[in-house]
Amino acid sequence: MTNTVIDTLNKRVDALAASEDASKINQGLLWIREQAQAGRIQPDLSNTLTDRLQQALDRLRNRDRILAESVGREAGNFQRSEGDARLLRTAERVIAQPKASPKDEEDVPEIPEVEDEPAAPATPDEAMAQVEQQWTQQDVEAEMREAKRQTGSRAYRAKEPVFLVKIVKHELGNDRTLRKNEYEVAGTSKARTRATKFLLDPKFFQPMREVFTEFDYKVSLLALPVPFRGGFKPIPISNMKKFYALLKEFRQRLKDLGESYIIPNYPSEVRKAAGELGPRFVASDYVAPKVAASKFGIDVDYYTPGVPEGLAAVGEEFLQSELGEAERQVQEMLARTEDALAASMEEMVGKLLKSVQGGKKFYDTDVTKFVDFLQAFGNRNITGNERLAELVKKADSVLRGVDVKDLKKDDRMKEYIGFAMSEVAEGLAKYVKDKPARLVSADDTGDELE
């Protein structure tokens, strides 16, 4: 699954969660579970998306309950319909916008509007008409031209070897498909639909998932900022020792958390599930506490870019064809790496400037994540881009030794950082403007790609 598809899924889930429409959120939950069961969405991504939508549903239910109690005290017995609930939620937004949680450290992203879904087609012919209309809107040739533009026409040279690392995170499955006699979907074929249940409260696994999230962030600072085909993370050889240390640390943390948190608390969660699921509770769904704890882990596969020499036995033409395809993939990865590093830095500089100049609320992560990026840049600058390295060096000299708490209170320091970072921003803007179809690394021989 590509980054573009993952970003689109995340945006649509954010939009659903913000829509405050319980029906649409439930439809989204069902769709994600179906895709996960079919193997189209990876388990860790499916769990993340499902948790976000489930939390949105929980917030809606809690808000409706509080509002109903409040109105009930004023107006006596208040009978609430779905239309009443929607009206109350609208009134609440108008009267008092909800305040952001103090623990939130990131900007709240702009939530796209959720468009009403088109009416369901009445016949298969109408359904195919809708699908074919969608197909005609997809400009495949434009997508191919964009992919070619990103790669460019001149060859890159990596300054060191790169390992391809595929990380697989394991966790205890928390849903089961209900038997056909346990659910009913009017007007649809049961052979084509599924209904699921949560075995335990999804929030119970949050501490384990926070470990996975932290691990993902730290790995992202070691890997190149673009994934290789197949979901592999390209990690320069100079970062592999750090990666191994990180892997060892987080495997142990998962093990320790399983023993200190999962094992002692799992039985009470099962008891709670028995009360909430009622007749849908099945004892055989629940493994022993020690088994539950052991389900959380991290596995890694390692590869190197290229083609096995054994392919020569198939035929020289086939070998050369695959060697060319492997080189094209590497070139695309290196080309996109420079663009991604520049785009990330441009975004972080912009956030920091808005913070110190009063354009937005100042978050600690505006500084800490930028510092992490600057410190990790050296080994991730796989093509040896000197112009980017110079801009990183300048930004690092500005932020080195800065205490975030002091910066929030010191207007003079904010003014200095704002001035210095404005120069960095100008340098980045000029870099992007001057950048040709692709940038030539310092040791580029100028060879043309076939």
| Nearest to 88, CA basis, from 67, 113, 116, 61 | 67
Phi, psi of 146 (to 5 degrees): -65, -40
| Collapsed DSSP state (helix, strand, coil) of residue 394 | helix
CA distances from 127 to 38, 122, 134 (A): 22, 8, 11
Q: What is the pTM of this model?
A: 0.62
> What's the rounded Cα separation, in Å, for the pair 234 and 158?
12
Strand partners, 101: none
Task: Say which residues have a Cβ less than 8 Å from residue 276's Cβ, sequence separation at least 6.
Answer: none
* CB contact at 8 A, 421 and 349: yes
The DSSP secondary structure of 12-76, one letter per residue, reads HHHHHHHHT-HHHHHHHHHHHHHHHHTTSS-HHHHHHHHHHHHHHHHHHHHHHHHHHHHHHHHHS
* Residues 44-48: contacts with CB under 8 Å, at least 24 apart: 44/169, 44/171, 44/212, 45/1, 45/6, 45/9, 47/171, 47/174, 47/202, 47/209, 48/209
pLDDT by position in tens, the chain (length 450)? 566 667 777 777 777 777 777 777 777 777 777 777 666 777 777 778 877 877 777 777 666 555 545 444 444 444 444 444 444 444 444 334 444 444 444 443 343 444 555 566 667 777 777 777 777 665 555 555 555 555 445 567 888 888 899 999 999 888 887 765 555 556 666 666 667 888 898 899 999 999 999 999 999 999 999 877 778 899 999 999 999 999 999 999 999 999 999 999 999 999 999 998 888 888 988 999 999 999 999 999 988 877 777 777 788 888 888 888 888 888 888 888 888 999 999 999 999 998 888 867 888 888 999 999 999 999 999 989 999 999 999 999 999 888 888 888 888 898 999 999 999 999 999 888 876 544 333 333 333 333
Q: If DSSP states are collapsed to H, E and C, what string results for 327-389?
A: HHHHHHHHHHHHHHHHHHHHHHHHHHHHHHCCCCCCCCHHHHHHHHHHHHHHHHCCCCCHHHH
| Contact present, 374 and 114 (Cβ < 8 Å) | no
Beta strands in 213-271 (DSSP E): 233-236
